[in-house]
Amino acid sequence: MLRKIDEAYQKALSGIVLDKQEIIDLLSVPVGSDECAYLCRKANEAAHVLTHDTAYLWGAIGLDYAPCPKSCDFCSFGATWHLIKEPKVFTLSEILAQAREYVRCGVHFIVLRTTQYYPLERLCEYVRTIRQEIEGSYELILNVGEFNLDMANRLYESGVSGVYHAIRMREGTNTRFRVEDRLATLAAVRESPLKLIHLVEPLGLEHTNEEIADRFLGAVRYGAYISGVMARIPVAGTPLGNEPQMSDELVAKTIAVLRLSGGDTVKNICVHPASSLALASGANVVVIETGAIPRDTDLAVTKWKRFDCATAKRLFKSEGYTIG
């Protein structure tokens, strides 16, 4: 196995994406083993080379704390679960205030996240206003519902840099979405100037190595320039609310595998929730979020789980990264 890890490391530095079986083989390394420690160490080395020691902060703003008719099995917003007691839609002034705070503290990716049917025309107006009123070299990312190529181009023209969009784990089974519709949106993004961010998520203990490999390679196929792992957070009251959460050790191992699997095609690897183990195993992007959080039944009036910019910067500094 050490030889396979070394081969994966060399391929990563040479810009070669691993094939499905190679990814599965690395994912089979037992957590806690000497091989796992070596895997994480080599992934960390590769991360520093491929990113030139640069890390990024991802600042998400959940714009609408409201019931969603899609009712995915892991999401607190599902209308069927009746977990949203006092809905709230954030105003433009509230969004601007949070975006300014993110820019001040060095966030590179400002992410506006909504439920499925939030009006995209309104978001285009908000994006134009944010660009006009807040200076900086940040990228504006949307995490929204489905859209076609025409809308993708209009989003870009309004000032959107990219979108977060993913085929979630067991899409169509644990979600109320059709895989075909999600793929159509990914295709629209690929054909537009928008950048794509596609994590392997929401990841749980029941998901197989084959599923993980398929999801990651799907992200690569659609041109993702950021991938990584978002672990599923159990939300009481949802169908998957009693399922255990992945350990930090297992998340870190998976991060290490994806780091070595993407070569220089996927140079940025994100982990959420963040941990020092994941940052020492190849992750160079972490998520800070506020507002409506689909992993929580409460509205986050500060930063979710008290993970803020200062905390993220300390973690990255301890691993030898500079914030980009």
Q: What is the mean pLDDT of residues 74-85?
A: 97
Residue 301 three-state SS:
coil
Instruction: State the first-to-last Cα distance of the chain, in angstroms, to the nearest integer.
Output: 34
Whether residue 119 is preceded by a cis peptide bond, meaning omega within 30 degrees of 0, is: no
Q: Find all residues with CB under 8 Å of 132, minimum gap 6, and list them.
A: none
Q: What is the model's pLDDT at position 301?
A: 87
**Number of separate domains in the chain:** 1
- pLDDT tens figures, 291-315: 999 999 999 989 999 999 999 999 9
CATH number for 161: 3.20.20.70
Cα 136 from chain centroid (whole Å): 22
Which whole-number Å values give the CA distances from 154 to 11, 142, 151, 200, 203, in the listed order?
A: 38, 13, 5, 27, 32
Cα 152 from chain centroid (whole Å): 19
What mean pLDDT, rounded, does the chain reach?
98
Please answer whether residues 269 and 48 qualify as being in contact, where contact means their C-beta atoms are separated by less than 8 angstroms. Answer: no
Residue 83 lies in domain: 2-323
Element (H, E) at 3: helix 2-13
Q: What is the model's pLDDT at position 319?
A: 98
Q: Is the pLDDT of residue 37 over 90?
A: yes
Q: What is the mean pLDDT of residues 180-208?
A: 98
Which whole-number Å values give the CA distances from 295 to 42, 57, 85, 142, 240, in the listed order?
A: 31, 19, 15, 18, 11
- The four Cα atoms 21, 19, 43, 204 give a dihedral, to 10 degrees, of -60
**Angle, vertex CA 290, rays to CA 240 and CA 96, nearest 5:** 145
- pLDDT tens figures, 235-289: 999 999 999 999 999 999 999 999 999 999 999 999 999 999 999 999 999 999 9
10 Å Cβ neighbour count for 83? Answer: 19
DSSP letter for 176, please.
Answer: S
Which whole-number Å values give the CA distances from 86 to 168, 204, 214, 292, 299, in the listed order?
A: 28, 29, 38, 12, 9
Q: What is the mean pLDDT of residues 15-43?
A: 98
Cα 122 from chain centroid (whole Å): 24
- Residue given tokens 């703003």 in the structure block: 61
The pTM (predicted TM-score) of the whole model is 0.98
Please answer whether residues 78 and 68 qualify as being in contact, where contact means their C-beta atoms are separated by less than 8 angstroms. Answer: yes
